[in-house]
Structure 1
Amino acid sequence: MNLCLRPRILKTSLISNLCRFSTTAPEITEQSEPVFIDTDDALAREAEIEKKRNKSRLSEAHYNTIHGRKPYETPKCIAHLTVKYNRKMYGKYGSASGVNPSLCWPSKEDIQEKLEYEAVAYPFTIKEMMETAAKKKRDAQLAIEKREQELAVKFEKLAIWKKELQDRIAKKAAEVQAAKAKKERLVEEVRRHFGFKLDPRDERFQEMLAKREKEQKKQEKQARKEARENKMIAQIQQKSLNIDAN
């Protein structure tokens, strides 16, 4: 490019820029009227912006709870109108909950109901309850001492009981042995009756064995009867002797 043409190009560019930033509107000589902003619309826009900022997709209650605020600004159900719920909100969020602190004090009806409940649930005075507890403690101690005494007495009798148990076991063993010996004697008598060797499972052998057992039981019964009669006679004679001696 010819160097003599450069000043002309720069001058032309400067003029074009000045024309681009200039305006053809008439000059403002008077101050424009004041603009009033609607506060409700601004708050609504701010709330809408805040709502759009919430990308967690949590419900309103959960979102407020996480950020340390009251779950619901307005009641959503009947439970939110109860005194218990409002006391809970005030206890957790304080004055930020918007709850009147006077709700935290019990009413006259609540106090009366509490007094009636305590009168039924706790009818005794502290002194009476202490006396009852002391009596239960004494009774429990007496029961323990009584149990210990019974165990001591039974422990002293343990040797006697062991001997009695051993005697009963020996008696039972002797009875079993006697029954076994009696059975063997009956079997031997049946064998001698036939005079030849016969299988004990044979029907004739079983019939004869049953017959012998029946006869044996009859003889034992008769022997026991005679023993009782002899015992009674002896007792009667003893009584007669005692009467004559007197």
Structure 2
Amino acid sequence: MELVESRGQPHRSRSRPAPTFKHAPPQFHQYTIVNKAPNPPYRGAPLWKCSVFYYWWQYLRHNQDYRDTCINGGVGPCARLYRDFGNIYRQTFREWWGVHHYLFAEQPAAAFTRDNHRFGDAAQIVDVQIDVSLGPEAVERSLKELHTQLLFPDRRALHRSAAVYPVARRPVLVNLHRHLAVHKCRLRFPDVPDENIADRMGLNAAEQANGISRSYLQRLGHSTRDIDIELRRAKRKAVQHDLRCARLLIEGVGRGEFPVRTNG
């Protein structure tokens, strides 16, 4: 094992590894280690949007308590969060991420000194470096997690995050994007009916009732009134679902939790 002392003290490790993240970070530079790229939030999305951390930043920008705290220079209901995240309205996401990515980086007390460790037939010894500044409990926990990675590499995604702000649950970027897009559309058009919001956002509903499609009734020359009523109801339900999810996500991110859709 190599002992590594942090806080500017000399150590025997040649260099610290690049920051690692449990979930895919935004891709501006190839300096990160990512296990698997997530599905994009929409077709053609740039790589820096293909990250839960981009949506963390976006949802926080829509939290009114956090906005008020930023306006008051860090004084307000989100003062503690402000000390970590800063004034997110004065920077682009790329600028903000360059300074604050450490909030989401994994900070294990122990790490492999090489990336290709596995137990072989001839040797069962690996080299590990330890950051002694993080305390014995953190070291013990990290060593147990490294041991699990060696024995059960497929369970890597289940490991507990050591980030300052861990991702609360497995994110689905398509849903995060849609919830926020519907929320923003509602803010822009506060008086537009929900079914019209659904049309603007391309939220489709099955155009049928009792197993009969709307187009089939049209071909027969029958009234589509019942199907149209069901269609409007389905569109309203879809929009209300997205708005409710967006509201809960915005509330949760103001508590430093994302993505969560439950009341604190």
Coarse TM-score class (shorter-chain normalised): under 0.3
**Structure with bigger RCO (C-alpha 8 Å, 6+ apart):** 2
More strand by share: 2
Which structure would you say has the larger Rg? Answer: 1
Report the TM-score when normalising by structure 2.
0.17
More helix by share: 1
Report the TM-score when normalising by structure 1.
0.19
